[in-house]
């Protein structure tokens, strides 16, 4: 399966990203607070992955906090396509966007099962795990090379 990761630049891209977030966070994981949209989405930079059949197979977002820091989040890949490299491609794209925005550091509140995914890509745990909406999370951060 060929996958194209790109900046979500059209209403179609964004609708597909929000639909995938609903499918993963609300339907699959049963997270009580709706994660399909929030106030940060309007100012976030989003990425989407499309397969060659026109299906959205991944998404994630970058929210710029200040001149040097960004927060990653809402990374989602359909369950049946995980561990095939899509998540890593999304993360690469988000980090490239962060560098283009001049950011020096990224943080992520990772769901605990996703900690190895971020750790394998240079993110370091900060502090103890905490609960968010009943889901265990851990805060992680990474300094971006110039
Ligand atoms: C987290 C998520 C986006 C990763 O996407 P993915 O497409 O499965 O990731 P990849 O296939 O690119 O995997 C990249 C690496 O992380 C590892 N990895 C991925 N998920 C992992 C997990 N749950 N536990 C351990 N390792 C994991 C893979 O083995 C791979 O390692 P390697 O490249 O060093 O061999 C995906 O699992 C997902 O959508 N999870 C549900 C939603 C979620 O928890 N999102 C994160 C919110 S913080």
**Predicted confidence (pLDDT) per residue in 17-34, tens digit:** 999 999 999 999 988 776
In angstroms, the CA 20 to CA 112 distance is 20
Distance from residue 75's CA to the centre of ligand 1 (Å): 9
134 Rama sector, left if φ>0, alpha if ψ -120 to 50, beta otherwise: left
54 within a domain of the structure (yes/no): yes
- What is the pTM assigned to this prediction? 0.93
Question: Residue 79: which CATH number?
Answer: 3.40.630.30
| DSSP H or E stretch at residue 123 | none
Output the residue whose Cα is nearest ligand 1's atom 20: 117
Residue 112 DSSP class: G
User: Higher confidence at residue 134 or residue 119?
Assistant: 119
Residue 24 Cβ < 6 Å to ligand 1:
yes
Report the C-alpha dihedral over residues 146, 141, 90, 83, rounded to 10 degrees: 130
Distance from residue 117's CA to the centre of ligand 1 (Å): 5
pLDDT tens profile 56-74:
999 999 999 999 999 999 9
- What pLDDT shows up at residue 53? 95
Query: Which residues, in sequence order, are bridge partners of residue 42?
Result: none
Residue 71 Cβ < 6 Å to ligand 1:
no
pLDDT tens profile 81-114:
999 999 999 999 999 999 999 999 999 999 999 9
The model's confidence at residue 133, banded by pLDDT at 50, 70 and 90, is: confident
Distance from residue 21's CA to the centre of ligand 1 (Å): 15
Count: domains in the chain: 1
140 within a domain of the structure (yes/no): no
Q: Which domain holds residue 88?
A: 3-103
């Amino acid at each position: 399966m060929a996958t194209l990761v790109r900046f979500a630049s059209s209403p179609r891209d964004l609708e597909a990203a929000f639909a995938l977030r609903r499918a993963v966070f609300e339907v699959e994981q049963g997270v009580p607070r709706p994660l399909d949209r929030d106030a940060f989405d309007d100012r976030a930079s989003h990425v989407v992955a499309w397969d060659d059949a026109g299906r959205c197979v991944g998404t994630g977002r970058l929210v710029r906090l200040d001149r040097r820091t960004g927060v990653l989040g809402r990374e989602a890949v359909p369950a049946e396509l995980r561990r095939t490299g899509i998540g890593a491609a999304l993360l690469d794209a988000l980090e490239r966007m962060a560098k283009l925005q001049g950011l020096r550091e990224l943080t992520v509140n990772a769901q605990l099962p996703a900690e190895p995914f971020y750790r394998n890509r240079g993110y370091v745990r900060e502090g103890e795990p905490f609960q968010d909406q009943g889901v265990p999370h851990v805060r992680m951060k990474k300094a971006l090379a110039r």
